[in-house]
């Protein structure tokens, strides 16, 4: 007797297959987002903040304390600092050659890094409105590096942020630069499985941002 497949079963097969595929992607995707280089001596350490800013700052302080660099840059606050001999004291560096305003070493707008804040940065820097936030930060960081002739940098951010930073770095910086990516390891929620809503949200936010950057980078030559 031939095996009969009911209409209901035919509808369930693609649904189950899609569900399994999505589940597999979700289980593997955290590992895809993670990326890390071994830190080395660099001209400057650059912070790319997110909601886990304190953990990122702690990692940057650790790298400074270990003597990896004598300069620290925070593009979103237009801040550039020189590290003192004790490796703890930071002195603001004024640099009027970098526009818009990197070197003022203070937050130029509001304290919270919001969408409105980035709109102001885009207007002041002359960046297109559709440029992704991390992309704008990296272009500002490159301006600071070029103004001082820096060719090596350590980029510090959250673990799930690193793959996107790596992709953008490959587009903004050419082979003349030596860029090292070091994620913060101080985040309590840092895991490689989906055991919390925070991890889930981080993953879903990263993929659309990566896809959007790759899409406009394909047809806009101003991305570098």
Residue 10 domain flag: no
Residue 103 domain flag: yes
**What parts of the chain have a pLDDT lower than 50?**
1, 3-5, 100-111, 190, 192-194
d(CA 188, CA 196): 11
Assess contact for 223 and 135: CB atoms under 8 A: yes
Residue 151: the pLDDT is 95
Residue 143 domain flag: yes
Residue 23 domain flag: no
Residue 102: the pLDDT is 46
- Cα separations (Å) of 85 from 69, 71, 152, 188? 11, 12, 21, 31
Residue 115: the pLDDT is 67
Specify the number of domains making up the chain. 1
Residue 59 domain flag: yes
Give the pair of three-digit tokens for residue 25.
């992607």
Residue 98 domain flag: yes
Residue 97: the pLDDT is 53
∠ CA 70-72-78, rounded to 5°: 145
- pLDDT tens for residues 25-80? 655 566 777 888 889 999 999 998 776 677 888 898 999 999 999 999 888 777 88
Residue 46 domain flag: yes
Residue 6 domain flag: no
Range of the domain at 85: 34-223
Q: Is residue 56 classed exposed, middle or buried when 0-12, 13-18 and 19+ CB atoms within 10 A define those classes?
A: buried
**120 contact partners, CB below 8 Å, separation of at least 6:** 109
Residue 68: the pLDDT is 93
């Amino acid at each position: 007797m031939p095996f009969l497949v009911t209409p209901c079963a035919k509808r369930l097969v693609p649904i189950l297959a899609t569900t399994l595929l999505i589940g597999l992607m979700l289980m593997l995707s955290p590992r895809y987002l993670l990326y890390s280089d071994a830190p080395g001596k660099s001209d400057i350490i650059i912070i790319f903040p997110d909601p886990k800013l304190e953990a990122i700052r702690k990692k940057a302080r650790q790298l400074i304390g270990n003597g990896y660099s004598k300069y620290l840059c925070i593009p979103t606050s237009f801040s550039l600092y020189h590290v003192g001999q004790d490796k703890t004291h930071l002195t603001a560096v004024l640099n009027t050659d970098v526009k818009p305003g990197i070197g003022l070493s203070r937050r130029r707008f509001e304290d919270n890094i919001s969408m409105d804040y980035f709109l102001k940065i885009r207007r002041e820097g002359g960046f297109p409105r559709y440029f992704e936030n991390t992309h704008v930060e990296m272009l500002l960081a490159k301006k600071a590096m070029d103004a001082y002739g820096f060719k090596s940098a350590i980029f510090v951010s959250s673990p799930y942020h690193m793959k996107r930073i790596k992709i953008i770095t490959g587009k903004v910086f050419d082979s003349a630069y030596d860029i090292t990516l070091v994620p913060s390891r101080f985040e309590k929620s840092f895991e490689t499985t989906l055991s919390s809503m925070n991890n889930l949200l981080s993953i879903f936010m990263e993929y659309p941002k990566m896809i959007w950057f790759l899409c406009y980078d394909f047809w806009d030559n101003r991305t570098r």
